[in-house]
Amino acid sequence: MEFEAWWLVLFPVFFALGWLAARIDIKHVLADSKSLPQAYFKGLNFLLNEQTDKAVEVYVDLARNHAETIELQFALGHLFRRKGEIERAIRMHQKLLERAELKPEQRHAAQYELGLDFMKAGLFDRAEELFESLEGTELARGALRHLLDIYQQEKEWKRAIEVAQQLRDTSHTYQHEIAEFYCELANHAAIKSQPKEARQFLQQALAEHRKCVRANLILGDLEVAEQNWMEAIDAWQKIESQDHRYLPMVAKRLLDIYDRLGKIEEGTALVRGYLATYPELDMLELVHDRILQYEGSESAANFLSEELKRSPSILGLIKLLDSQAVGAQPERKSELDLMKKLVQDNTRSLAMYHCGRCGFKARQYFWHCPACNEWESFLPSRGQTRPN
């Protein structure tokens, strides 16, 4: 009972303390509100009534006439950039940088924001200068990421490699990106008929990322250009141990070399072996066309039928319908064509390549996604989508 009595005594004390704290808070709020310019509330009223443009004009005038509105100028500059009013964003951030009373961290933030404005406007050289000036500041890492974006857009691959190497840490090694940058340099050297330089870049790509499929794919093409047939075969066969899903990309190249060497059956056996181990639509089509060419339509149709039993797929069914229509009677061919059209109309997305990061779809394969700019994000098998 004594314990309960003590609590009864303390209740009025707690109540009094709470009342006192509330009074102090209210006084602060009232004092702060009196110090705000009247235009602030006018702009707030516009925002509450969803009159954004009028609110922006009020706050622009407020920022122009009140020296203490640094944070407001930052907010307005960011808003202008988001709305696509890049020139207004640039002017806002340039005026910020003219203010002598800015603290160092505020000046760095204004430089960073102005760099983003220039970048959005496509003025990469001016953005680059601002981001480089932030070296050694608290915004240096963010500036480096934007520099990396700039160098990729301008295809300055050597500078992109330097920046990516500065950015790498335990959370992101950038090995995929750096290997791809070396592959881009190799492609450029190959176009300029500099195979020695191209090979060096490819070796650097593989040293950076030993499972870089693209490097071996390009290396095989270089060997073919110099008629080094066996070396090309060796380069492309290494892709199986890197990522077997990319084998369909080199299967046709391998068959062409085996045909050139007069080893038709050996080439066919190699690709059929790949298909048996790694069932892929593109490989299925390639083997089917091979059988159709050398063994006739009946053997090709039988092959497709057996493959569908072993590894069913909608795209394989379309190929089978297409194969059976070859040489069929007009009435039967019409039925098969109709069935094929109905299936195709409902499965168009299955014939596309998908980006595993953003879901962007395309009929051709990209090493660099045009939508999200991620490297090696396209899934190498048509119809394959990213997991939910």
- Max CA pair span of the chain: 105
Three-state SS sequence of 303-367: HHHHHHHHCCCHHHHHHHHHHHHCCCCHHHHHHHHHHHHHHHHCCHHHHCEEECCCCCEECCCCC
Category of 205 on φ-ψ map: left (φ > 0), alpha (ψ -120 to 50) or beta: alpha
Q: Beta partners for 353?
A: 362
CA–CA gap between residue 185 and residue 25 (Å, rounded): 63
> How far, CA to CA in Å, does 105 sit from each of 74, 138, 315?
13, 8, 58
Binding site as annotated, residues: 355, 358, 369, 372
CA–CA gap between residue 16 and residue 357 (Å, rounded): 58
Q: How many CB atoms lie within 10 A of CB 341?
A: 12
Binding site as annotated, residues for Fe cation: 355, 358, 369, 372
At 14, the amino acid letter reads F
The residue behind tokens 């009013």 is 85
The residue behind tokens 């005026």 is 95
CA–CA gap between residue 211 and residue 193 (Å, rounded): 26
At 168, the amino acid letter reads R
> How far, CA to CA in Å, does 307 sit from each of 216, 277, 302, 325, 350?
29, 12, 9, 18, 18
Backbone angles phi, psi at 49, to 5 degrees: -95, 15
Contact 67, 98 (CB under 8 A): no
DSSP 3-state of 223: helix
**Residue 205, class by beta-carbon neighbours within 10 Å (0-12 exposed, 13-18 middle, 19+ buried)?**
buried
Q: Beta partners for 355?
A: 378
DSSP 3-state of 156: coil
